[in-house]
Structure 1
Amino acid sequence: MTVLIPSKIHALAHRRMALSALHADSSLAVRLKRYNHRIALVRALQPQGGVQ
């Protein structure tokens, strides 16, 4: 049985949003800002759930 860990799910979702931010139809500065924001959220979730 697979156990769903909420922080792991959130981290995965934020990683995917970060990658999609890089491919968005926006300026490079905006894409980088959005990517860095999402990755910061992923890093904040890591200690909570042991996400790797």
Structure 2
Amino acid sequence: MIPTRNPSAIRARAAAHRQMAMSALHADSSLSTRLRRYNAHMAIARDLEAQGVTHGQR
């Protein structure tokens, strides 16, 4: 992953992962698969937001 210093890009990527997480919950998959995908995308979104906070980009 290429680090970015653009705060709006970090927020946009975090928002995209939150949307993917919500989409995962509504997918036509087993419950365990939906939950695993949801948790993976939310973890990425949280990491991106934390990266933005540590770089003072909020």
Q: Which TM-score band applies after superposition, normalised by the shorter structure?
A: 0.7 to 0.9
Match of 2:48? 45
Question: In 2, distance between residues paired with 1:43 and 1:14?
Answer: 9
Identity %: 51
> Which TM-score applies when normalising by structure 2?
0.75
Which consecutive aligned stretches of 4+ in structure 1 deviate over 4 angstroms post-superposition?
Answer: none
Q: Name the Cα RMSD after superposition.
A: 2.0
Length, aligned pairs only: 49
For structure 2, the 5+ residue unaligned runs are 1-6
CA displacement 1:1-52 (0-9 Å, x = unmatched): xxx7111000000000000000000000000000000000011111222488
For structure 1, the 5+ residue unaligned runs are none
Q: What SS does structure 2 have at the residue aligned with 1:26?
A: coil
> Which TM-score applies when normalising by structure 1?
0.83
